Structure 1
């Protein structure tokens, strides 16, 4: 090889090496390693603390799993949590604080219906994407006035339809209803009335209780006194347990049905005897250990069930909604693009609005016309048997 050709080859090799190194260094400089900051406004004290703490455990576990998975590239999720004390005014203060933090990509709100409905206007004014884990339809409707607000919990209309189908299947014709006096409870009663009118089921009587009540005996007594074939309880878990105990004490021999809002821990603990054989409308993930994992989605749900149980000793049905909220926000942040280290809330909102996910809770689909993502087919019927919830049938 001539000296000139040899020098040319050497020069070319040096140029290629320099270009390669420069490209690597450029790529490293451009890789976004900024944290994905997700804020959470939860009920960690006050009347709704049991569910709020379950959400916090789920958020911590899901964030840990995503951060260690490598799925976020060079980024990690940073979770900022504030206690709203189960109070809508405190929740609104938290939302304002989170909104004013330019590092926060999105907010997750807990199960407090009044908190989420009350904060909706502020969320829109502040233009911060928010996923609520509460159920009331007023959280996301009307959609034109809730552009930045989404929710994942079961819808009252879907829960009422599933529950009524089960009542009809079992030939139950006379029903009494105990509902919570909050937004979701009132919405549930209305949805049940509509379903009953279509199917010929007679509503004998309805009574309401506050979500802070520790005594529901008078309401249950009035309902059981009408001798219904079934008592439908549409309240949070604490009041549902009290209602079941009161119904048993009143010698109620009919069937007991719970809406999804009554869900909580897999194992029923002290309420096991009074709840035995009761029916609950909820997601299959609560009892995924009863289900053969025939699809990747079911396998993922079973793994979540096992991971949560191994970490915390028992499974809570609502934990999957919190985990799905984290996944949706993380996916939206990654897909939103934009400059490294800069939060683009508008882009995150746009991605959330068209998100589709075979979530841990079930199929989730967001659209510009529907910000309530959990699909009706995610709901099924469970039965209390042997001190825990089981898949019905």
Structure 2
């Protein structure tokens, strides 16, 4: 009897082991490669992207929406070096399990790998704010973009400046692809504006993306005769330089209005940055979604993402929703396709339409930059944190 019982138990265990082995064999691992700035001057943003990608991939896998397919992130550090991006993306292209790649802030990195992703037919989603990463469209058939566009940000800022009847605008922008886009967009938008019948005067100066002292640049703009000094200062830089510009402006006696482009978004809280209080920034609503009442499923999803990210990482980072929406793009494509082929994913992503965590996203064959202008809103810095301007 004992022998019979042992034999029966062994048969059950063997059957269970076989079933588990078969279940494991049925799971298809789908890899999303990530080429990010995990070290160097923009490491804080790259790390925020990586956290968001990992969190969103975990949520997708836990939901079971992909059936027997499971997502996995393969992150690589490009150190803001386009040659390293070329190496990283080449490695992703050689791995048949990598179905798509997400790239970080570095616009030049995306431009450098454009030919490779096209030749290797590798769907690539750029999180860089520079619109040039998907232009011209004929050369960017395999590249898509999530995040605000310079012309949309400039239009929103110009509307705010016009409403307050600012006559003289100083513009500080970074001497890189995105900064130059911003300069062109702001100057073009303000060319059409007149206050009291007089065109708005714009004075622009550039700074190196790695500059850590902006005092001289700011003083050259604001330390002028009252009739010549700007009554509004637009800062088109990343968050750390925006804070430096704000501090330098206040120290130079500037008491006009401060405006930040969305690139200045980062952490929700601005600890110790009293100089930025009262500054206005154009960005997506997700940054301050705790100020918003959830009246739609999309708003409820954004509030939940805000809570999940904050609970896991201690604070919220404005860039995180762009990375999460990139994962959602790939997930949607996998759900709509019976295969995990790169060609199938690219063709589906190219017609993506969904309400993302960043806002409404619409991609077409003629426009690979998906975030709609309606996603943007005005935020204001109050008591060391960003708030919805209308709240």
TM-score by length of 1: 0.89
Query: CA contact under 8 A between 2:65 and 2:335: conserved in structure 1?
Result: no
Query: CA contact under 8 A between 1:40 and 1:109: conserved in structure 2?
Result: yes
Matched position secondary structure for 2:56: helix
Q: What is the CA-CA distance between 1:126 and the residue it aligns to?
A: 1.6
Partner of 2:136: 142
Matched position secondary structure for 2:354: strand
Partner of 1:349: 346
Matched position secondary structure for 1:35: strand
Matched position secondary structure for 1:270: coil
Q: What is the CA-CA distance between 1:118 and the residue it aligns to?
A: 2.1
Matched position secondary structure for 2:334: helix
Q: Which moved more, 1:199-208 or 1:227-236?
A: 199-208
Partner of 1:16: none
- 1:157 aligned onto 2:161: no
- 1:68 aligned onto 2:62: yes
For 1:126-141, list aligned pairs within 5 A. Answer: 126-141=120-135
Q: What is the CA-CA distance between 1:336 and the residue it aligns to?
A: 2.5
Matched position secondary structure for 2:105: coil
How far, CA to CA, are the matches of 1:32 and 1:354 in structure 2? 30
Cα deviation code 1:323-373 (max 9, x no counterpart): 0001111211232223xxxx4111110000001110000000010000000
Among 356, 369, 372, the alignment partner of 2:369 is 372
Matched position secondary structure for 2:254: coil
Q: What is the CA-CA distance between 1:96 and the residue it aligns to?
A: 1.1
Partner of 1:19: none
CA RMSD, 1 decimal: 1.5
Partner of 2:82: 88
How far, CA to CA, are the matches of 2:53 and 2:26 in structure 1? 23
Partner of 1:327: 328
Stretches of structure 1 that go unaligned for 5 or more consecutive residues are: 1-24
Partner of 1:243: 245
For 1:210-289, list aligned pairs within 5 A. Answer: 210-226=208-224, 227-271=229-273, 273-289=274-290
Matched position secondary structure for 2:89: helix
How far, CA to CA, are the matches of 1:32 and 1:290 in structure 2? 44
Segments ≥4 residues shifted beyond 6 Å: none
Query: CA contact under 8 A between 1:263 and 1:282: conserved in structure 2?
Result: yes
Matched position secondary structure for 1:177: strand
Cα deviation code 1:300-335 (max 9, x no counterpart): 000000110111111001100000001111211232
Query: CA contact under 8 A between 2:166 and 2:200: conserved in structure 1?
Result: no
Cα deviation code 1:207-231 (max 9, x no counterpart): 1111111111111111112410110
Among 365, 373, 378, the alignment partner of 1:381 is 378
Partner of 2:186: 192
How far, CA to CA, are the matches of 2:202 and 2:373 in structure 1? 27
How far, CA to CA, are the matches of 1:110 and 1:152 in structure 2? 10
The count of corresponding residues between Structure 1 and Structure 2 is: 361
Cα deviation code 1:190-218 (max 9, x no counterpart): 00111001113523421111111111111
Query: CA contact under 8 A between 1:193 and 1:203: conserved in structure 2?
Result: no
Partner of 2:6: none
TM-score by length of 2: 0.90
Matched position secondary structure for 1:154: coil
Query: CA contact under 8 A between 2:187 and 2:202: conserved in structure 1?
Result: no
Q: What is the CA-CA distance between 1:83 and the residue it aligns to?
A: 0.5
Query: CA contact under 8 A between 1:280 and 1:381: conserved in structure 2?
Result: yes
Query: CA contact under 8 A between 1:356 and 1:366: conserved in structure 2?
Result: yes
How far, CA to CA, are the matches of 1:204 and 1:320 in structure 2? 33
How far, CA to CA, are the matches of 1:128 and 1:335 in structure 2? 18
Query: CA contact under 8 A between 2:52 and 2:320: conserved in structure 1?
Result: yes
- 1:115 aligned onto 2:113: no
How far, CA to CA, are the matches of 1:199 and 1:60 in structure 2? 44
Q: What is the CA-CA distance between 1:32 and the residue it aligns to?
A: 6.1
**Structure ID, larger Rg:** 1
Among 359, 376, 387, the alignment partner of 1:390 is 387
Cα deviation code 1:71-108 (max 9, x no counterpart): 12122111100001121111121111111111100000
For 1:284-323, list aligned pairs within 5 A. Answer: 284-323=285-324
Query: CA contact under 8 A between 1:176 and 1:223: conserved in structure 2?
Result: yes
- 1:77 aligned onto 2:71: yes
Cα deviation code 1:222-247 (max 9, x no counterpart): 11124101100001112111111111
